[in-house]
Structure 1
Amino acid sequence: MAEKKPRKLRAAGTTRKRRKPAGVSTGLAAAELLAAAPPGEVAELHRAIEDDGGKVLKLGRFLDPIIAVRAPQEAPARYWTPNGHHRLSAMKTLGAKSITAIVVPEGAVAYQILALNTEKAHNLREKALEVIRMYKELARLDSATEESYALEFEEPAFITLGLCYEERPRFSGGAYHPVLKRVDQFIKGSLRAALEARQARAKTVLALDDLVVQKVEALKARGLTSPYLKSFVVARINPIRFRPKEAAPLSFDESFERMTKAAAKLNPDTIAIDDLARSGGALDEGD
Structure 2
Amino acid sequence: MSSFRKVLGMHVGQPTSDGAGVRLTRVFGGQGVERFDPFLMLDEFGSENPDDYIAGFPPHPHRGFETITYMLEGRMRHEDHLGNVGLLQGGGVQWMTAAHGIIHSEMPEQEEGAMRGFQLWLNLPGKHKLGKAGYRDIQPEEIPRLTTAGGVGVVAIAGTFDDGQLKQVGVVQRPDTEPHLFDLNIPAGGQVSPRLPEGHRVMVYVFDGSIELEGHPQAIEASRMVRLGDEGELRINSQQGARVLLIAGKPLNEPIVQYGPFVMNTREEIEQALRDFRDDRLTE
> Which structure carries more helix by proportion?
1
On whether the aligned pair clears a TM of 0.5, the verdict is no
TM-score interval, normalised by the smaller of the two chains: under 0.3
TM-score (ref. length: structure 1): 0.24
> Which structure carries more strand by proportion?
2
TM-score (ref. length: structure 2): 0.24
Larger RCO (CA within 8 A; separation ≥ 6):
2
